[in-house]
Chain A
Amino acid sequence: MSELKRISGIPGQAGHPALCVLPEIEKEDELFEIIWTLREEGNLSLDQIVQNCTLKDCEVILTDLAKSGWIDIKGQAVELLSKGEKRARELVRRHRLSLRMFYDLFSLDGAEAEACKFEHILSPEVTDSVCTLLGHPPNSPDGKPIPRGECCAMFRQEMKPLVAPLADLVPGEQAKIVFITPGSHSRLDRLSAMGVVPGSIVKLHQKKPSYVIQLGETMIAVDKDITKEIFVKKV
Chain B
Amino acid sequence: MCATTNGESEEFLRMHDHGSKDGTSNRESSLHKVLLIGNPNVGKSALFGLLTGTYVTVSNYPGTTVEVTYGNAVLNKVRTLVIDTPGVNSLVPMSEDEKVTRDMLLSDRSDVVVQVADTKNLRRGLLITLQLAEMAVPFILDLNMDDEARSRGIIIDQEKLSHLLGVEVVKTVAIRRSGIDKLLKGIQHPRPSPVEVRYDDAIEGGIRDISALLPEANIARRAIALMVLSGDESLKGWLHANLQDHIIADIEGVRQTTQTRFNNSLGYLINQRRMKKADEILAQVLSLHEAGKGSAIAFHIGKWSMHPVYGLPILFGVLYVVYQIVGVFGAGTAVNFLEKMVFGEYLNPWMTKIVHFIVPVPFLQELLIGDYGLFTMAITYAIAIVLPIVGFFFIAFSILEDSGYLPRLAVMVNKVFKIMGLNGKAVLPMILGLGCDTMATLTTRILETKKERILVTLLLALGVPCSAQLGVILGLVSGLSGLATGIWVFTLLSVMLLVGYLAAKVIPGEPSDFVLELPPIRVPQFTNILVKTLARVQWYLKEAVPLFILGTFILFVGHKVGALAYIQKITDPIVVNFLGLPSRAAEAFVIGFLRRDYGAAGLFMLAKEGLLDPIQIVVSLTVMTLFVPCIANFFMMVKERGMRTALYMAAFIFPFAFGVGGALNWTLRALQVKL
B229 CB → nearest A CB, Å: 12
Contact indicator B121/A41 (Cβ below 8 Å): no
Asked if residues B412 and A209 are in contact (CB atoms below 8 Å), the reply is: yes
* C-alpha spacing A222/B516, complex, angstroms: 7
Residues of chain B lying within 8 A (CB to CB) of residue A186: 94, 265
Q: Please judge, given known A-B contacts A209-B414, A221-B411, whether A189 and B127 are in contact too, CB under 8 Å.
A: no
The answer on a CB contact under 8 Å between B121 and A189 is: no
- List which B230-267 residues lie within 8 A (CB) of chain A: 230-231, 260, 262-265, 267
Given contacts A190-B94, A193-B90, A221 and B410 within 8 Å (CB-CB): yes
- Contact call B124/A222, Cβ cutoff below 8 A: no
Q: How far is the CB of B103 from chain A (nearest CB, A)?
A: 17
Contact B268 A192 (CB under 8 A): yes
Shortest C-beta distance, B221 to chain A (Å), equals 21
Give the docked Cα–Cα distance between A182 and B92 (Å).
Answer: 19
Report whether A222 and B271 are in contact in the complex, using a CB–CB cutoff of 8 Å: no
- Chain A residue nearest to B514 in the complex (CB): A223
Residues of B within 8 A of A210 (CB): 306, 410-412, 414-415, 424, 514
Of the listed stretches A48-56, A124-132, A139-147, A160-168, chain B binds: A139-147
Given A143-B264, A220-B515, does the pair A209, B121 have CB atoms closer than 8 Å? no
Across the interface, which residues of A come within 8 angstroms of B231, CB to CB? 185, 189
Q: Does B344 contact A (CB under 8 A)?
A: no
CB-based contact B94/A216 at 8 Å:
no
Interface string of B328-371 (1 = CB under 8 A from A): 00000000000000000000000000000000000000000000
Question: Is A9 interfacial (CB 8 A cutoff)?
Answer: no
Interface status of A197 (Cβ within 8 A of chain B): yes
Report yes or no: A220 in contact with B262, Cβ–Cβ below 8 A.
no
Residues of B within 8 A of A143 (CB): 262-264, 269
- Residues of chain A lying within 8 A (CB to CB) of residue B264: 139, 142-143, 182, 185, 188
Complex contact B513–A223 (CB within 8 A): yes
| A145 engages B263 (CB within 8 Å) | yes
A220 / chain B contacts, CB cutoff of 8 Å: 515-518
Q: Find out whether the CB atom of B414 lies under 8 angstroms from the CB atom of A226.
A: no
CA–CA, A191 and B94, complex, Å: 11
**Would you give the shortest CB distance from A40 to chain B, in whole angstroms?**
9
**A217 at interface by CB-CB < 8 Å:** yes
Interface residue? A198 (CB, 8 A): yes
> How far apart are the CA atoms of A222 and B90 in the complex, in Å?
18
A200 beta carbon closer than 8 Å to chain B: yes
Interface size on A, residues (CB 8 A): 39
Asked whether B20 is an interface residue with its Cβ less than 8 Å from the other chain, the reply is: no
Any chain A CB within 8 A of the CB of B667? no
Q: How far is the CB of B652 from chain A (nearest CB, A)?
A: 30
Interface size on B, residues (CB 8 A): 49
A202-235 CB contacts (< 8 Å) to partner B: 205-206, 208-210, 212, 216-223, 225-226
Contact B271 A189 (CB under 8 A): yes
Please count the residue pairs between chain A and chain B whose beta carbons lie under 8 angstroms apart in the complex.
143
Q: Smallest distance from the beta carbon of A183 to chain B beta carbons, Å?
A: 9
B417 → chain A closest CB, angstroms: 10
Q: Which residue of B lies closest to A224 (CB)?
A: B514
The answer to whether the Cβ of B123 comes within 8 Å of any Cβ in the partner chain is yes
The CA-CA distance from A186 to B311 in the complex, in Å, is 31
A55 CB to nearest chain B CB (Å): 21
At the interface, yes or no: A74 with Cβ under 8 Å from chain B? no
Report yes or no: B267 in contact with A185, Cβ–Cβ below 8 A: yes
**Cβ contacts under 8 Å, B516 to chain A:** 220-222
- B408: nearest chain-A partner, CB-CB: A221
In the assembled complex, the CB of A90 is this many whole angstroms from the nearest CB of chain B, namely: 20
Q: How long is the Cα–Cα vector from A48 to B81 in the complex, in angstroms?
A: 58
* B307 located at the interface, meaning its Cβ lies under 8 Å from any Cβ of chain A in the complex: yes
Asked if A189 and B517 sit within 8 Å, CB to CB, the answer is no
Residues of chain A within 8 A (CB-CB) of B513 are 184, 187, 190, 222-223, 225-226
Query: Among the listed B121, B124, B265, which residue makes an inter-chain contact with A185, where contact means beta carbons less than 8 Å apart?
Result: B265
Known: A199-B279, A210-B414, A221-B424. A188 touches B267 (CB 8 A): yes
A197 close to B271 (CB less than 8 A)? yes
CA A209 to CA B231, docked complex, whole Å: 34
Say if the beta carbon of B154 comes within 8 Å of chain A.
yes
Task: State the CA gap A94–B417 with chains docked (Å).
Answer: 45
Across-interface contacts of B260 in A (CB, < 8 A): 41
Q: Is A195 an interface residue (CB 8 A)?
A: yes
A81 within 8 A of B: no
Complex Cα distance, B263 from A222, in Å, reads 24
Q: Is B625 an interface residue (CB 8 A)?
A: no
A194 close to B (CB within 8 Å): yes
With a cutoff of 8 Å between Cβ atoms, the chain A residues found around residue B263 in the complex are 139, 142-145
Residue numbers in B under 8 Å from A198 (CB-CB):
272
Q: Which residues of B contact A222 (CB under 8 A)?
A: 513-516
In the bound assembly, the distance between CA atoms of A187 and B297 in angstroms comes to: 33
- Give Cα distance in the complex from A188 to B311, angstroms: 30
Is the C-beta of B633 less than 8 angstroms from some C-beta in chain A? no
| Inter-chain contact A219/B515, CB cutoff 8 Å | no
**Contact call B411/A192, Cβ cutoff below 8 A:** no
- On whether A218 and B414 interact (CB within 8 A), knowing A190-B513, A209-B308, the answer reads no
Q: A205 vs B279: C-alpha distance in the bound complex, in angstroms?
A: 23
Q: Are A185 and B268 in contact (CB under 8 A)?
A: yes
Q: Does B185 contact A (CB under 8 A)?
A: no
- Give B306-320 interface residues, CB cut-off 8 Å to A: 306-308, 311
Tell me if B276 is interfacial: C-beta within 8 Å of chain A: yes
Which A residues between 173 and 189 are near B, CB-CB below 8 angstroms?
182, 184-189
Using a CB-CB cutoff of 8 Å, which residues 424-443 of chain B contact chain A?
424
For B120-163 the 0/1 string (1 means CB < 8 A from A) is 11011001000000000000000000000100101000000000
Closest to B269 in A: A143
Q: Which residues of B contact A41 (CB under 8 A)?
A: 260
Contact A221–B518 (Cβ < 8 Å): yes
Residue numbers in A under 8 Å from B230 (CB-CB): 189
Bound Cα distance from A195 to B118, whole angstroms: 14
- The distance from the CB of B228 to the nearest CB of chain A, in whole angstroms, is 14
Evaluate contact between B518 and A192: CB separation under 8 angstroms.
no
Is B275 part of the contact surface with A, judged by Cβ < 8 Å? yes
State whether B514 touches A192 (Cβ < 8 A).
no
**Smallest distance from the beta carbon of A210 to chain B beta carbons, Å?**
4
Q: Name A189's closest neighbour in chain B (CB-CB).
A: B267
Whether the Cβ atoms of B89 and A193 lie closer than 8 Å is yes
**Which of A145, A184, A217 has the largest number of chain B CB atoms within 10 A?**
A217
Q: Please state if B265 and A189 are interface contacts (CB–CB under 8 Å).
A: yes
**Are B306 and A212 within 8 A (Cβ)?**
yes
Interface residues of B in 445-487 (CB under 8 A from A): none
Given contacts A208-B308, A209-B311, A221-B424, contact A194 B267 (CB under 8 A): no
Asked if B514 and A221 make an inter-chain contact with CB atoms under 8 angstroms apart, the answer reads: yes
Closest B residue to A43 by beta carbon equals B260
Q: Are A206 and B275 in contact (CB under 8 A)?
A: no
How far does the Cβ of B431 sit from chain A's closest Cβ, in whole Å? 15
Q: Is B423 part of the binding interface, using a Cβ–Cβ cutoff of 8 Å?
A: yes
From A215, which residue of chain B is reached at the shortest CB distance? B123
Neighbouring A residues of B89 by C-beta, 8 Å: 190, 193-194
Distance to closest chain B CB from A51 (angstroms)? 15
Interface, chain B (partner A; CB < 8 A)? 89-90, 92, 94, 118, 120-121, 123-124, 127, 149, 152, 154, 230-231, 260, 262-265, 267-269, 271-272, 275-276, 279, 302-303, 306-308, 311, 407, 410-412, 414-415, 423-424, 513-518, 520
Instruction: Sample 20 A-B pairs with CB under 8 A, ordered by A number.
Output: A182-B268, A185-B268, A189-B90, A189-B94, A189-B230, A190-B94, A192-B275, A193-B90, A193-B92, A194-B89, A197-B271, A210-B411, A210-B414, A210-B514, A212-B411, A217-B154, A217-B520, A219-B302, A221-B410, A223-B423
Q: A184-B513, A210-B514 are in contact. List 6 more A-B contacts (CB 8 A).
A: A182-B268, A193-B90, A206-B303, A222-B514, A223-B414, A223-B514
- Closest 4 pairs (CB-CB, A-B): A143-B263, A192-B271, A193-B90, A143-B264
